Amino acid sequence: MDYLIGLLKIRVRRGTNLVVRDTVSSDPYVVITMGEQKMKTRVVKKNCNPVWNEELTLSIKDPNVPIILTVYDKDTFSDDDKMGDAEIDIKPYIECMKMGLENLPTGTKVDRVQPNRTNCLSDESCIIWDSGKMFQDMSLRLRNVDRGEVEIQIQWIDLPGHKRYA
């Protein structure tokens, strides 16, 4: 099946302790890819602890297609340098969506996802019901690099006329 099941809003909050790729700093930006989709944040100049606070939205057709977050350093005269990547695992979040939860008190922790070898979490990630919507905050440890983390928040957006993800 190749039809749209919903949208995933990803708020790219900030990066922490990102690696230096220029002389003393980096000009980082984030690219999120899923299959053919590719979106990116703005560049934050000369900052290894950038705050983007930007929302990117993916169209989800198959939740098994990996969502990859990659941090790059913007370079003027050469190819942009890679500063690490992480996979965003939405399966625990989707499992919570399938529970069909409604009328929960705001702030209810629906689930906690622990860091393990198969995800890129650097810390426990809570899936929270808040004001009729489900959110998951994640702190992702970047792979293929010495250090660095990126904080994001995901939220499902139901499409009009579609019933909740099931």
Reported confidence tier of residue 150, pLDDT bands at 50, 70, 90: very high
Handedness of CA 155, 128, 72, 141 (dihedral sign): negative
pLDDT at 160: 73
Reply yes or no on whether the pLDDT at 166 is more than 60.
Answer: no
Burial 147-157 (b: 16+ CB within 10 A, else e): ebbbbbbbbbe
- Looking at per-residue pLDDT, the higher value among 164 and 88 belongs to 88
Give residue-wise pLDDT tens across range 26-83.
999 999 999 999 999 999 999 999 999 999 999 998 889 999 999 999 998 899 999 9
pTM of the model: 0.92
Please provide the CATH number assigned to the domain covering 6-157. 2.60.40.150
